[in-house]
Structure 1
Amino acid sequence: MHRRWLSLPLLSTCASAFYPYQAGDGSEPKLKRFVPYQLDEPSVPTSGVVTLDLTKIPVKRDNKFAVSNSTTPSIPNAMAINQDGSDFTYFSTMRFGTPGRDMYMLLDTGSADTWAMGDSCQSAACRIHNTLGQKDSNTLQITSAPWSMSYGTGQVQGFIANDRLSFANYSVQLSFGLANTASDDFLNYVLDGILGLGRSASDTLGTQTIMETLDEQAGLSENLVGVHLQRSFDGTRDGQITFGGYDTSKFDNNLSFTKTVNDRGWEIPVDDAGFDDKAVGFARGKTAFIDTGTSYILLPPADAKSLHALIPGATNNGEVFLVPCTTTETVYISFSGVKYAISPKDYVGRGNGNVCNSNIIGHQAYGPNQWILGAVFLKNVYSVFDFDHGQIGFGTRATSSATTSSSSTPSSSSSSSSPPSSSSSSSSSSSSSSSSSSSDSTSSSSQTSDSSTSTSSSSTQDGQSTETTRVAPTNTLESGGGGSPFSNTGHSDAAKVSICLFPAFVLAFLIGLML
């Protein structure tokens, strides 16, 4: 496909990743993209399916950031997970060029643009990160086409470049932004760049997206990605992203799919939300951006207040809500008739005495009916982003300790669906409707870890087609250890509209609770 060499100086209006943001009273102007969200302590006491492991790291690597490496999984086409133990930044190590430079690339479903820091960048942020230049790669081509990305109060800019990008068993020729300037907002994050996994309509580079490139050059079995964000507190170290299929060992029961509301972003309609068995009863019209790059859940203030009103003992201080640290019940959000439980290990945050921060924030990032669901939600489900059919599928987080893994690809569907019988699990999507992730309802204060390593359960959504194509890896997935992110660790958070979770450890060192 012909590549269009042009650049757009401004971001598109679709949700994306990284906009610096601090908790306030809700009066700040709306910010866009990339949101490290900072909370203060409570003032009260080969198969065509490729698997690539996510890395999550909010602490400095090499001379500036500390990185904890995980065991390399035995699944074919998989890469090892590295983590910081705080569940704030999820990224993968990818190699640019020949012989090449390894870069930590934040995986962002909220933006379709891919960029990396260039060696000509003299900004303070670039000086503490890996950068890419022609001394690292003799195949790197830098054009004269200017490029820039704005992230609320921060931005990067430079020129469009082209080089080989290698990860798992793929090596593709990709056009991307090469930054020669980066704002100080990137100082506290390990990322050397961003891999845009948003939809092509949100692309601002004017070039093929990584998914378009993979589909054209590598021939994906299906144009989709399966995402599993590990909860480090559980000690599994099994986070991964699978291209061209999904890992059925990462979820129980079946996948249920929901169509996106438009072709610009990963935004889907919300049925309702609630606490324990009590529903808020939200009016129709609510939507949610599914953003693996956001740490917390961001709801407009009125919606956050309605949800917290169901939690006994919850209070609020501006945009930040406080909940009893001993809360053991789950919060849930429902899509297409299926409820997905959110463990208190994820939504009950750092505490001071008996009172803890809620990791569900009352902040309106976009419209009054638009939510952002980041890692606090995503750690409780397995997510499939289906580019061809414009839908997102969720499966209940696996609770079995089995490690057998297999991969599948979904069929086209409408809103939600029950997977076909070809799935390795016979339970229907409706079976997870009222109890999804219920096994994760352990209180964060008790810090009881669940052994949710993996069982085999594949599914696809039925719709216009009910046939399923399955590709089963020959090896098993190994899991490792970790620590918990959102429970008992008040920090700053990346609340962007895309896949970009932000570290909370760095601020924690600087401010006591933050990244």
Structure 2
Amino acid sequence: MPVEQEQPDVAYFGQITFGTGTPQNFDIQFDTGSGDLFVFGKDCDSPACDDKPKYDSDLDTSFSLIEGKDFSVEYADGTEVNGDSAKTTIVIAGISVETQEFGVADEVSDDFEHPYVGIMGMAFSETSENEQITPITNLINNNQLDNPQFSFMLGRDADQSPSELTIGGSNPDRYHADTLTFTHLIDNNGGAWEIPIDNCVVNGEELNLEGRTGIIDTGSTRIILPPDDADTFYSEIPTAIDNGDGSYALPCDEQHEVSLVFGGKTWNIDPRDFTVEIDEDDCIGSVVYADTGSDTEWHIGSAFLKNVYTIFDQGNRQVGFAELA
């Protein structure tokens, strides 16, 4: 199915249909870094919901409220969403998921300013803060998919390249099959798409940090490192200056070669995806720092994922990268 983006390359979303009777279509972000599904509900009076499409349960013949179960989720960026838990039929990429649990949001953080009106978590169900079973897991459990996988191609605004989600396998027209390399999830993954990172290379210098893992996160724009690792990373770029806010300033006219190594294969990041202009003549590196929950855990967002075709193989608990066709 086609995927849209919040420009430039900030977030990726697509249309999901909620309900039967009068089907309601909403733009929902696809987030492999979380495990909950929600949509703005008609009773949401938060500023974030102003002038936005909202789900109306009165129009939905499949709607059932889950009595006594509130919905609440908080994301890594601090966004909070609250509401009721319910079930209905949803349709994604032409595939119907019956009795899918979701949150009907009536309260959303003010900073949720996006072109989409909900988020679909695509990590494993263990990551759900509301004990939901994810739509992908439901499809797998119901034997509705050819393969227990889904795949993303994330486009780049500068190239006007398309974005695409394939559920139930991958689209062989979009990648070079002979370059496809799978890496198994780490054992203690907590339901995340977390794989070992072999190495990171900055302008030809290998960082050789031991025991690092990466959560493959379509819901993140940047590549997020623990502060000490970011310090090590930017020590290879003499012109980088720590802004003190999680980002490093870079001269806009510099190009840097950054690569990540997974499964023994080196994947290069387009220099345009690394040096990001946030204001006129004001640039930062797309590698940023924050408390990731562990000194060794990195979050690998679209700054990297735009450069590869990614297969999320839920059945075999592995992530595959391939060169784009």
User: What fraction of aligned residue pairs are identical, expressed as a percent?
Assistant: 29
SS in 1 for 2:17: strand
Q: Which residue of 1 aligns with 2:2?
A: 53
- Residue 148 of structure 1 aligns with which residue? 72
How many pairs align?
Answer: 317
- Asked if 1:370 corresponds to 2:297, the answer is yes
Instruction: Give the distance between the partners of 1:377 and 1:349, measured in 2 at CA.
Output: 13
- Corresponding residue for 1:323? 250
2:227 aligns with: 301
Larger radius of gyration: 1
Quote the Cα distance in structure 2 between the aligned partners of 1:206 and 1:361: 31
Q: 1:313 to 1:181 in 2, by over 3 A?
A: closer
Q: Secondary structure at the match of 2:58?
A: coil
Q: For the Cα contact (< 8 Å) 2:72–2:129, is it kept in 1?
A: no
TM-score (norm 2): 0.91
Q: Which residue of 1 aligns with 2:317?
A: 390
Residue in 2 that maps onto 1:137: 60
How far has the Cα of 1:182 moved from its partner? 1.7
1:348 alignment partner in structure 2: 275
- CA shift for structure 1 position 230: 0.3
CA-CA distance at 1:245 after TM superposition: 0.7
Partners of 1:315 and 1:168 in 2: CA distance: 44
Structure 2 SS opposite 1:213: helix
Give the Cα separation in 1 of the matches to 2:132 and 2:15: 22
Unaligned runs of 5+ in 1: 1-51, 58-84, 399-515
Measured at CA, do residues 311 and 165 of structure 1 come closer, stay the same or move farther in structure 2, by a change above 3 Å? same
d(CA) in 2 for partners of 1:388, 1:322 = 41
Do 1:259 and 1:390's aligned partners in 2 also have CA atoms closer than 8 Å?
Answer: yes
Q: How does 1:31-430 map to 2 (within 5 A)?
A: 52-57=1-6, 85-98=7-20, 99-144=22-67, 145-151=69-75, 153-173=78-98, 174-186=100-112, 188-217=113-142, 219-236=144-161, 238-252=162-176, 253-261=178-186, 262-263=188-189, 264-282=191-209, 284-318=210-244, 319-350=246-277, 356-398=283-325
Structure 2 CA distance for partners of 1:87 and 1:393, relative to 1, 3 Å: same
Structure 2, unpaired ranges of 5+? none
RMSD, aligned α-carbons: 1.9
Structure with greater proportional strand content? 2
Asked whether the 8 Å contact 1:325–1:355 carries over to 2, the reply is: yes
TM-score normalised by length of structure 1:
0.59
- What do the CA deviations read for 1:30-82 (whole angstroms, capped 9, x no partner)? xxxxxxxxxxxxxxxxxxxxxx221112xxxxxxxxxxxxxxxxxxxxxxxxx
Q: Is the 2:124–2:137 contact (alpha carbons within 8 Å) kept by the matching residues of 1?
A: no
Shift, 1:184, TM fit: 1.3
Q: Relative to 1, partners in 2 of residues 1:206 and 1:307: Cα closer, same or farther, differing over 3 Å?
A: closer
Checking the alignment, whether the CA contact within 8 Å between 1:172 and 1:218 is kept in structure 2 is no
- Relative to structure 1, the CA distance from residue 354 to residue 122 in structure 2 (aligned partners, 3 Å threshold; closer, same or farther) is closer
> Residue deviations 1:367-402, cap 9 Å, x none?
11111111111111111111111111111233xxxx
1:246-272 CA-partner distances (Å, limit 9, x unpaired): 122222342111111134211111111
2:93 and 2:167 in contact (8 A); partners too: no
Offset at residue 364 of structure 1 (A): 2.7
Change (3 A) 1:355 1:148: closer
Residues 138 and 351 (structure 1), Cα distance of their counterparts in 2 relative to 1, 3 Å cut: closer
Structure 2 CA distance, aligned partners of 1:197 and 1:365?
Answer: 19
Amino acid aligned to 2:56: G
8 Å contact kept, 1:274–1:310: no
Q: Aligned in 2, Cα 1:306/1:207: closer, same or farther, shift over 3 Å?
A: closer
Is residue 108–residue 293 contact of structure 1 (8 Å, CA) maintained in 2?
yes
